[in-house]
Chains A and B, each alone.
Chain A
Amino acid sequence: MKMKKVITITVTILALCLSAGMFAACSSNDGNPSVSENPPANNDNNPVDSPAPASDFDSSRRIAVFTREDGSGTRDAFASITGVGDDMYEEAVVLTATSEIRSSVAGNPYAIGYVSSGSLNDTVKALAIGGVMPSAETIISGRYPIQRPFLIVTNDEKDASSLVKDFIAFALSAEGQEIASDGWTSAGNTGGYTPIGLSGTLRIGGSTSVDPLMQRLRAAYIELNPNVSVEISGGGSGTGISEATSGVIDIGMSSRSLRDAEKEALNEYTIALDGVVVIINNANPVGDIDIETVKDIFTGEKTAWSEIND
């Protein structure tokens, strides 16, 4: 009985604390923005009153920043190139998948996010960075600044194997690079590929960003080499690099450049270039932004769309 009383009391106190907090917030919030109940504020919600459709966009609203989780290769590349580094805006909403970022940005007029160019579609709007739109040409020439290589890496022993050699030759050939340029950007090819009738098993693993491209390369390769089976596992760039170094897998996938120490132990091949595209909602009139502003938005220096000069 005594125990029960104690429990009842603690539960009640907890519930009271929480509800008190909520009521406090309600009343304080109800007090401040009473302005919004005035007729002028309602005009924003009424498109009939506004002459141009673009004025639906209220630039005084807060920028909704969407970012990927700590450790993601896309976030890594984005943060290091834009200079955001470790100072990612604390209030930014964290989501774990490119598709979640894309659908969240599509559903929120004031949103900004970033995705791999391979997952871009017309539900969202890509921003030009310093006047340069992400495209095959601007990514190859390096004029579009936020980009990263998709690498496959092997250690010396595996690199000598004829099956590994053949697969890499296929990935870099005209056939392989045609696949890479559908969604990503090809960095150039080594000419035609002819299968030489090998058999065996290839183990490939690493970056989940490279994975969609690798899946398609695998399908095309197996069609040409029916006696070869290719196993692809995930785990991220770090896992791919370390397992390729130790030889647990034949080929590692990485969506970031190799560090100097890693370069010594591995042979690297660039199978595609990937632009990291900054995306906003289709209703947002902003079309061009410079990289400094991207940094300011993603570090939380600029928090309203009115602070962004198109």
Chain B
Amino acid sequence: MRGVFFTAALASVLAVALICVFLFAQGLPPMLKIGVLDFLTGQRWRPTAAEPSFGILPMILGSVYITGGAVILGVPVGILTAIFMAEMCPKPVYRFLKPAISLMAGVPSVIYGFFGMMVLVPAIFEVFGKRFDMMSGNSMLAASILLAIMILPTVISIAETNIRAVPRELYEGAVALGASHERAVFKVMVPAARSGVLAAVVLGIGRAIGETMAVRMVAGNQTVMRMPYEFFSGTRTLTSNIILEMGYVERGSLHFGAIVATGAVLFVFILGINLLFSVLNQDIEKKRNKKGAG
């Protein structure tokens, strides 16, 4: 019987290992052929030109900017919501709020993308288009707003769980010492759950950087080098670069290889974020154990 469980556990590990092998076996040779440095720091992506160039720096930056924007917009809202839900929410409201947020997590990303394309993009163009000489509403701003909404359920649910896990005695102690409810929550409970909240943010970043469908539909997908303040212009992310050009590319060509290599770079990014998450998680565990002992 144990063997069955072991095989089941092995299946997921095997899947990840296979993906890893595929990505690097297929992605590394073209990367070496293009030149690792040329590939990672090249500023031009012209895969089908007579003299092709394969530089993905604009997309690496695009992914970082759009994710950064989503974090700046989404994380404060998410964490405040989590605090509200854990510490201040009346029961009837909670009964409504909790399923609503779970539902948010379940909405397929193409629906978010469709909403972004039909509502967000025209609205941004209407409001800022003339003033900032925008070409269209397809912009880093639109993608960041959309991603901020999409990471909310992740950030809220993990942050809430971690705030709830803080021992009640801390709160009671603070109140006994004369702190108001708000003061006890913000000065004692939230700081105590700090690493858990940070973990929520990191997981939110992971969700944002890996999002493909919705971003592709609103970000504009230009392969131009952008500065972080050019958020009224569009850019392309690593994920959208893969999905945009996968459809027509000839298997086995250098263009195909470069797209797989883009996937490998993205994989490394996600790996880093997950590593960060597990380091934070270990920290939480350690703290909990310490408390248990003390």
Give residues in A with beta carbon < 8 Å to B. Answer: 1, 3-4, 7-8, 11, 14-15, 17-19, 21-22, 24-26, 28-29, 33, 36, 41, 44, 58, 61-66, 69-73, 86, 90-96, 100, 103-104, 107-108, 111, 208, 234, 236, 238-239, 242
Of B195, B222, B229, which one neighbours A93 at CB under 8 angstroms? B222
Determine the residue in chain B with the shortest Cβ distance to A86. Answer: B49
**With A8-B198, A91-B222 as contacts: A69 and B244 at CB distance below 8 Å:** yes
Q: Is the CB of B48 within 8 A of A71?
A: yes
Least CB distance from B59 to A in Å reads 12
Least CB distance from B227 to A in Å reads 7
Least CB distance from A160 to B in Å reads 28
How many of chain B's residues have a CB under 8 angstroms from any CB in A?
Answer: 56
Residues of A within 8 A of B224 (CB): 90-91
Q: What are 13 A-to-B residue pairs whose CB atoms are below 8 Å?
A: A14-B68, A18-B68, A18-B228, A21-B229, A25-B230, A33-B132, A36-B130, A69-B248, A71-B249, A86-B48, A94-B222, A100-B217, A236-B249
Residues of A within 8 A of B248 (CB): 69-73, 236, 238
Determine the residue in chain B with the shortest Cβ distance to A63. Answer: B135
Q: Is the CB of A93 within 8 A of B228?
A: no
Residues of B within 8 A of A107 (CB): 118, 121-122
Residues of B within 8 A of A69 (CB): 221, 244-245, 247-248
**With A18-B68, A69-B245, A108-B136 as contacts: A94 and B220 at CB distance below 8 Å:** yes
Residues of B within 8 A of A22 (CB): 69, 72, 228-229, 231
State whether the Cβ of B33 lies closer than 8 Å to any Cβ in chain A: no
**With A15-B68, A25-B230 as contacts: A93 and B276 at CB distance below 8 Å:** no
Q: Is the CB of B49 within 8 A of A90?
A: no
User: A45 CA to B201 CA in the complex, in Å?
Assistant: 41
A-B residue pairs, 7 tightest by C-beta: A25-B229, A71-B248, A21-B228, A94-B221, A86-B49, A18-B68, A236-B248
User: A17 CA to B69 CA in the complex, in Å?
Assistant: 11
Q: Is the CB of A7 within 8 A of B280?
A: yes
Residues of B within 8 A of A234 (CB): 247
Q: Is the CB of A92 within 8 A of B228?
A: no
Least CB distance from B65 to A in Å reads 7
User: A252 CA to B22 CA in the complex, in Å?
Assistant: 29
Determine the residue in chain A with the shortest Cβ distance to B233. Answer: A91
State whether the Cβ of B39 lies closer than 8 Å to any Cβ in chain A: no
User: A66 CA to B252 CA in the complex, in Å?
Assistant: 29
Residues of B within 8 A of A242 (CB): 250
Q: Is the CB of A91 within 8 A of B247?
A: no
Least CB distance from B246 to A in Å reads 9
User: A95 CA to B234 CA in the complex, in Å?
Assistant: 12
Least CB distance from A81 to B in Å reads 16
Q: Is the CB of B220 within 8 A of A93?
A: yes
**With A71-B249, A94-B236 as contacts: A61 and B47 at CB distance below 8 Å:** no
